[in-house]
Structure 1
Amino acid sequence: MTNWKVDRPQRITIDEPVTRLDVRLVAGRLNVVGTDGPARVDVTRVSSRPVIVEHRDGVLRVGHEHPPRRPGFLWWLGQLGRRYRAEVSIAVPADTLADLHLVDGALVASGLVNDTTVNVTSGQVTLMGLAGRTDARIVSGPVEALGVTGDLTLDTVSGEVTLGESAAGRVHANTISGAITCDLDNPRRSEIRLTTVSGPITVRVREDSDLDVHLHTTSGRITSGFPQVDGVGGIGPVKDSHGVLGAGEGKLWASATSGSIALLARPVDDDQEEQP
């Protein structure tokens, strides 16, 4: 086992193999990227509480020394959080399993092709170019996923969910208070579930999508860019819509309690123009 106690800006290179990354930071910024070279930990800022880096049996652990178990009132006033603030960038092999935790701050994960788990209490989460199974949860703040494939779960209590350039086979996006915005390019037999209690849902899919679509809102309205997806019964604004796009091999469910739902059609020509 090798470990480092980092109390000032420092770069650490791990020459031995890394198959799993476990990060438990309290406050600040965390950037994790998948690369081809050896693993590296770059601490560019650290407050009075050091950051501990440990490597053992292929597991790379990065975390604050003696973190508070339950941040309380003083934490949210900022008096305690400033002691634990750090800015850390970590590069690991792209197929590394990643388990990333941050109490307060901004987290960015990119280029990982194995399973990735993200937990943030307050701040923001950005995911780019991930594959495998991705599970991201944040209590307060937005979560954004771009170019993510595989299985994707995005959960936030209070914050917006944005998903773009996605070809994920399974997408579950949930928020209690906040909007959901998705631009999807899904493979066959995909499963997409979008739910929000308070906030609108906007989802755009290709005109040639193969989806069985179910849309429901309690106190909003539904609009659709596909004539195949029609309103179901009732007088006044549409509350339920159902229809089949193409062969209907995939599933799209969208549900909002207090908010409207918009289903938009993306011309296939748009994708061809984006290609070099």
Structure 2
Amino acid sequence: MGSWTVDGPRRITLDEPVTRLDVRLVSGRLNVVGTDGPARVDVTRISRRPLVVELRDGHLSIRHEPFPRWPGVLWWLGQLRRRFRAEVSVAVPAQALADLHLVDGALVASGLRRDTRVDVTSGQVTLMGLRGRTSAKVVSGPVEALGIGGDLDLETVSGELILADSAPERVRAHAISGSITCDLDNPRGSEIRLSAISGSITVRVREDSDLSVHLHTTSGRITSGFPQICGGQHGFGAVKDSHGVLGAGAGKLWASATSGSIALLARPVTDADDLEDLP
């Protein structure tokens, strides 16, 4: 067990095992990576307010102290942002649980193998090589997820959601004002649900994918690179639906857009894809 108050650039190497990480920062940059080595905390930049780092019974906590419950008017004037800014990199065991909160800034999480939860008010989120259950919620800003497996839950109020080079078992992505772009490996047995209120949805899957597909838009258009996906129209043309089965239809893809178009694109199968499918 240990506790540190950090008011300047510093590296803390932790000899005790870490099973859970909890980070709450106001402003700045946060980089969290799963590693096989000992846990460590690197603070490369910090403004007026110090950080408190604590390790108790495997629970590693990093936070601004005191953490403001609501930024208020001073925040939007830039005062709190300058006082609470920090740039922090954290390495923890890949099996550690992670709960990451940032009010304003950029957050990167990579290499974690269990549950990862990300909550950012305003900023950019990048997720790379995560497994287990992953959830990311952003009020204003984009989320980019690369090489994700397991369960993935993405949500933004205003921003773009991007998922690429991934074959997760379950995906739920929801954007209120923003687009959704997915470039998926063959999602056999996967369940993929995409929804956008005001924004477009673009999905690209391999030509040999096994998917049962259901696409719906209220006031947009549906285009498909697969002849198996046929379209329908109801009423006076305001509601459009397309559905069909690709391959064996083992996986499921639902995409729904209220005010926006949906595009389902076919990606040619390459030799590298064939090698990845080998047991």
**In the alignment, residue 258 of structure 1 is paired with which amino acid?**
S
Residue 258 and residue 44 in structure 1: after superposition, are their counterparts in 2 closer, same or farther (change >3 A)? Answer: same
* Shift of residue 187, structure 1, vs aligned partner: 3.8
**In the alignment, residue 241 of structure 2 is paired with which amino acid?**
D
Report whether the alignment pairs 1:250 with 2:245: no
Distance 2:190 2:36 in 1: 30
Residue of structure 1 in register with 2:114 after alignment: 114
1:1-276 map, 5 Å: 1-234=1-234, 239-269=240-270, 271-272=272-273
Distance 1:11 1:158 in 2: 35
Deviates more, 1:263-272 or 1:197-206: 263-272
Q: With structure 1 as the length reference, what TM-score do the two structures score?
A: 0.96
Residue 30 and residue 269 in structure 1: after superposition, are their counterparts in 2 closer, same or farther (change >3 A)? Answer: same
Distance 1:186 1:140 in 2: 31
2:187 and 2:211 in contact (8 A); partners too: no
**In the alignment, residue 213 of structure 1 is paired with which amino acid?**
V
* Shift of residue 67, structure 1, vs aligned partner: 1.3
**In the alignment, residue 74 of structure 1 is paired with which amino acid?**
L
Give the 3-state SS of the residue equivalent to 1:82 in structure 2: helix
* Deviation >3 Å, runs of 4+: 233-238, 270-275
* Shift of residue 249, structure 1, vs aligned partner: 1.3
RMSD: 1.6
* Shift of residue 167, structure 1, vs aligned partner: 0.7
* Shift of residue 274, structure 1, vs aligned partner: 9.6
Distance 2:265 2:239 in 1: 16
Give the 3-state SS of the residue equivalent to 1:219 in structure 2: coil
Q: With structure 2 as the length reference, what TM-score do the two structures score?
A: 0.95
Give the 3-state SS of the residue equivalent to 1:226 in structure 2: coil
2:219 and 2:239 in contact (8 A); partners too: no
**In the alignment, residue 255 of structure 2 is paired with which amino acid?**
A
* Shift of residue 186, structure 1, vs aligned partner: 4.0
1:194 and 1:255 in contact (8 A); partners too: yes
2:13 and 2:40 in contact (8 A); partners too: yes
2:127 and 2:146 in contact (8 A); partners too: yes
For structure 2, the residue ranges without an aligned partner over 5 or more in a row are none
* Shift of residue 189, structure 1, vs aligned partner: 1.6
Distance 1:120 1:15 in 2: 30
Give the 3-state SS of the residue equivalent to 1:74 in structure 2: helix
For structure 1, the residue ranges without an aligned partner over 5 or more in a row are none
Distance 1:149 1:263 in 2: 21
Distance 2:90 2:257 in 1: 38
Give the 3-state SS of the residue equivalent to 2:79 in structure 1: coil
Give the 3-state SS of the residue equivalent to 1:73 in structure 2: helix
Give the 3-state SS of the residue equivalent to 2:270 in structure 1: helix
* Shift of residue 241, structure 1, vs aligned partner: 0.2
Distance 1:258 1:32 in 2: 36
**In the alignment, residue 99 of structure 2 is paired with which amino acid?**
D
**In the alignment, residue 247 of structure 1 is paired with which amino acid?**
A
* Shift of residue 272, structure 1, vs aligned partner: 3.9
Distance 1:220 1:10 in 2: 52
**In the alignment, residue 253 of structure 1 is paired with which amino acid?**
W
**In the alignment, residue 50 of structure 1 is paired with which amino acid?**
P
